């Protein structure tokens, strides 16, 4: 077993569940009678921008009322104390990891608190609503969209993620159903490069068979215990 130096952690909606943020499965992928896959797509936005803005404006407001939970805080502690390489790749668009203090963090599916201008490409921190078509602070066009990666769009940071997976000694997946690619393929990629793999989740996921170890339970309990274990080892 090679020494544990480089860690890659993938988080999903399950790590924010105990902060009161709905997971996608909890809403069983439905929102206002629309499948998430239909609302969270460029086609869905073209078809009905007001509906898609309602979906994201509601989530952007909810996230600002939510607080990081012990799982977010435990990963921030690991980030501060781990001497080796660490990368937290989150599929989540909330800002709870950074509000807990995580630094070595990558939002592969974008961020709710960021607006992307479809006209000039600039990104702006955004805490309010986008539904009323505010002007882009950069170019003045009313072309701001949520800065999130929709189905059919290329996730952010893929090169940095694959480089980290190649160098990983340990890959840990926390609170994700393993239903969405390319994130769901990271465990297989990590194994290909010889990493050990651990899953911390409320229930078996679609990828559980690919993990050396799966611990079932709530992230708020499993993650602090695991961080304690790793820092003490």
Contact string 109-148 vs ligand BV8 (x = CB under 6 A):
x--------------------------------------x
Which residues inside 26-65 make contact with ligand BV8, applying CB under 6 A?
37, 40
Q: Provide, rounded to whole angstroms, the least separation between the CB of residue 166 and ligand BV8.
A: 20
The torsion angles phi and psi of 60, rounded to 5 degrees, stand at -65, -40
Location of structure tokens 């602090």: 224
Nearer to ligand BV8, 95 or 169 (CB): 95
Residues in CB range of 81: below 8 A, 6 or more apart = 231
Q: Provide, rounded to whole angstroms, the least separation between the CB of residue 222 and ligand BV8.
A: 7
CB atoms within 10 A of CB 121: 11
Dihedral of CA 170/189/108/58: which sign? negative
Dihedral of CA 155/126/130/69: which sign? positive
How many binding residues for ligand BV8 (CB under 6 A)? 34
Computed over its alpha carbons, how large is the radius of gyration of the chain?
18
Q: Provide, rounded to whole angstroms, the least separation between the CB of residue 212 and ligand BV8.
A: 18
Q: Is 10 exposed, middle or buried (0-12, 13-18, 19+ CB in 10 A)?
A: buried
| Upper half-sphere CA count for residue 55 (Cβ side, 13 Å) | 26
Nearer to ligand BV8, 6 or 91 (CB): 91
Q: Provide, rounded to whole angstroms, the least separation between the CB of residue 147 and ligand BV8.
A: 10
CA-to-CA distance for 45 and 41, rounded, in angstroms? 6
Q: Specify the DSSP class assigned to residue 94.
A: S
Pick one of 91, 114, 197, 214: the residue that binds ligand BV8 (CB under 6 A).
91
Residues in CB range of 3: below 8 A, 6 or more apart = 169
8 makes contact with ligand BV8 (CB under 6 A): no
Which residue has its beta carbon closest to ligand BV8?
A: 14
Pick one of 202, 208, 215, 230: the residue that binds ligand BV8 (CB under 6 A).
202
Question: Does the active-site annotation cover 34?
Answer: no
156 makes contact with ligand BV8 (CB under 6 A): no
Q: Provide, rounded to whole angstroms, the least separation between the CB of residue 182 and ligand BV8.
A: 6
Distance of CA 53 to the CA centre of its chain: 20
**Stretch binding ligand BV8 (CB under 6 A), from 96-104, 119-127, 133-141, 177-185:** 177-185
Active site residues: 109
Which stretches of the chain bind ligand BV8, using CB under 6 A?
A: 12-14, 17-18, 23-25, 37, 40, 91, 93, 109, 148-155, 175-177, 179-181, 183, 201-203, 205, 218-219
């Amino acid at each position: 077993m090679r020494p544990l130096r480089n860690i890659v952690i993938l988080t999903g909606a399950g790590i924010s569940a105990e902060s009161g943020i709905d997971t996608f499965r909890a809403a069983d992928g439905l929102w206002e009678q629309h499948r998430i896959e239909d609302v969270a797509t460029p086609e869905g936005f073209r078809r009905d921008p007001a509906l898609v803005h309602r979906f994201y404006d509601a989530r952007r407001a909810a996230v600002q009322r939510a607080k990081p939970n012990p799982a977010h805080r435990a990963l921030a502690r690991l980030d501060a104390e781990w001497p080796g390489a660490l990368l937290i790749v989150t599929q989540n668009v909330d800002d709870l990891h950074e509000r807990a203090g995580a630094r070595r963090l990558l939002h592969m599916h974008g961020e709710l608190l960021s607006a992307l201008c479809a006209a000039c490409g600039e990104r702006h921190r955004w805490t309010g609503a986008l539904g009323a078509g505010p002007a882009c602070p950069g170019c003045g066009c009313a072309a701001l969209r949520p800065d999130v990666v929709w189905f059919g769009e290329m996730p952010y940071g893929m090169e940095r993620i694959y480089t980290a997976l190649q160098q990983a000694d340990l890959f840990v997946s926390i609170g994700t159903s393993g239903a969405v690619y390319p994130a769901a393929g990271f465990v297989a990629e990590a194994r290909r490069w010889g990493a050990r793999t651990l899953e911390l989740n409320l229930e078996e996921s679609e990828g559980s068979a690919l993990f050396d170890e799966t611990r079932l339970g709530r992230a708020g309990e499993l993650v602090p215990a695991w961080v304690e274990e790793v820092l003490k080892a």
